[in-house]
């Protein structure tokens, strides 16, 4: 479970996150959507422990991030939008290094590393230097590392960036299987089709505030739409965030 309560983050006079509360429950894929600059990445970084909030509370699997940060971070898997990896290590070395950071050692490490590489279709690349990987392969390797310690909560920022259609389908299947096992997944994405396909509930943030929350059908109703099953989340998102009022472009381009 990932829960944030009345989260605030200010930078000088600017409020990037303004009393945001949301919860990704066990077994749920919770989408976190918003236009650029809305406060998504700042919120994600606070939950991951990379930024300190100005006010508010973050709880991961029952551990308060402020009072018990090591336990909170140890129970969380974090997948950033841009993978940062030691590129002079092989894939296997990187995962064993990551396992050590989480206190995973002993004879079972090699087995677990092998399981993750197989799951994300990287087995044949175990002995290859990461610098030779494509962006999509690096993204999958980061996911291997994030799931290595069997977290019960996963924080994901733009999971499909740089993935080809096969890789994207693989990740969607992995996320669904993890949710079925009771893992809570909070996923920030700009890809509305992914959110519509995968997420059980969605929270939409605009100018640092949550303006809407619910299932796709509930968001359609909030947007005042007809409630049709074929109504795309894109139109709902644009209407809720004010994007439907884009300026007229005929005659300009």
Angle at 120 between CA 169 and CA 173, to 5 degrees: 35
Predicted confidence at residue 190, as pLDDT, reads: 79
Which tokens sit at 37? Answer: 């600059």
d(CA 38, CA 53): 16
Rg (Cα) of the chain, in Å, rounded? Answer: 19
Q: How many residues does the chain have?
A: 253
Residue 247 has pLDDT above 60, yes or no: no
Contact between 183 and 151 under an 8 Å Cβ cutoff? The reply is: yes
| 230 Cβ neighbours under 8 A, 6+ residues apart | none
Task: Look at residue 5 and give its three-state secondary structure.
Answer: strand
Contact between 199 and 31 under an 8 Å Cβ cutoff? The reply is: yes
**145-173, pLDDT tens digit by residue?**
999 999 999 999 887 776 788 888 898 99
Question: Which structural domains are found in the chain, ordered by start?
Answer: 2-217 (3.40.50.300)
Average pLDDT over the chain reads 88
Predicted confidence at residue 168, as pLDDT, reads: 86
Whole-model pTM: value is 0.87
| 226 Cβ neighbours under 8 A, 6+ residues apart | 220
Which tokens sit at 120? Answer: 């994300």
Provide the pLDDT confidence category of residue 114 given band limits of 50, 70 and 90. Answer: very high
Task: Look at residue 128 and give its three-state secondary structure.
Answer: coil
* Lowest-confidence pick of 17-21, 35-39, 65-69, 110-114: 35-39
**118-142, pLDDT tens digit by residue?**
999 999 999 999 999 988 899 899 9
């Amino acid at each position: 479970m990932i829960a944030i309560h009345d989260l605030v983050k200010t930078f000088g006079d600017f409020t990037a996150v303004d009393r945001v509360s949301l919860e990704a429950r066990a077994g749920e894929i919770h989408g976190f959507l918003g236009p650029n600059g809305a406060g998504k990445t700042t919120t994600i970084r606070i939950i991951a422990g990379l930024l300190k909030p100005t006010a508010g509370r973050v709880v991961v699997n029952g551990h308060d991030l402020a009072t018990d940060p090591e336990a909170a971070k140890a129970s969380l898997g974090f997948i950033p939008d841009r993978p940062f990896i030691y590129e002079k290590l092989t894939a296997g070395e990187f995962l064993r290094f990551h396992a050590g950071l989480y206190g995973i050692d002993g004879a079972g490490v090699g087995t677990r590393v092998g399981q993750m590489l197989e799951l994300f279709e990287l087995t044949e690349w175990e002995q290859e230097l990461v610098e030779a990987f494509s962006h999509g392969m690096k993204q999958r390797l980061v996911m291997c590392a994030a799931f290595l310690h069997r977290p019960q909560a996963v924080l994901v920022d733009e999971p499909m960036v740089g993935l080809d259609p096969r890789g994207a389908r693989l990740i969607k299947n992995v996320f669904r299987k993890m949710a079925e096992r009771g893992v809570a997944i909070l996923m920030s994405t700009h890809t509305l089709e992914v959110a519509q396909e995968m997420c059980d509930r969605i929270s939409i943030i605009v100018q640092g505030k949550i303006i809407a929350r619910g299932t796709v059908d509930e968001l359609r109703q909030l947007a005042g739409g007809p409630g049709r099953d074929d109504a795309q989340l894109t139109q709902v998102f644009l209407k809720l965030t004010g994007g439907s009022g884009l300026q007229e472009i005929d005659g300009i381009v």
